[in-house]
Amino acid sequence: MFGIILAIHIVIAFVLIVLVLIQHGKGADAGASFGGSSQSFFGSRGTATFLSRTTAALATLFFITSLSLAYVASKEVKGYQSVVTEQQAPSKEGDARSDIPVVPN
């Protein structure tokens, strides 16, 4: 399950990067009014709307897959024991097992 969500997450990330790089800034439309052509397959304003909506949808999916990956990873870790939880019993003064001095109460 983790591998499938991770693969989808990576594909969405790459597509999102490409979509953001394809989009042009708001100032790019001003250059089209001085002789550049702004007509495209989606119309004069349709491309920006299509790309913006697609980017927003992919950003939402990216967010959902990020949360899903965190949830699945936290459920898979439950079976393992942490190294930090294992504690050594306090040693007595003069014990050769520990180099750490004992602090009296």
Under 8 Å CB-to-CB from 104, ≥6 apart: which residues?
Answer: none
Q: For position 4, what pLDDT does the model report?
A: 92
Range ranked top by mean pLDDT from 7-16, 48-57, 68-77, 85-94: 7-16
Cβ pair 19, 54 in contact under 8 A: yes
Supply the pTM of this predicted model.
0.56
Q: For position 1, what pLDDT does the model report?
A: 84
Q: For position 63, what pLDDT does the model report?
A: 97
pLDDT in tens, 47-60: 668 888 999 999 99
Phi, psi of 22 (to 5 degrees): -70, -35
pLDDT in tens, 12-32: 999 999 999 988 766 655 555
User: CA 70 → CA 16, 47, 61, 75, distances in Å?
Assistant: 20, 34, 14, 9
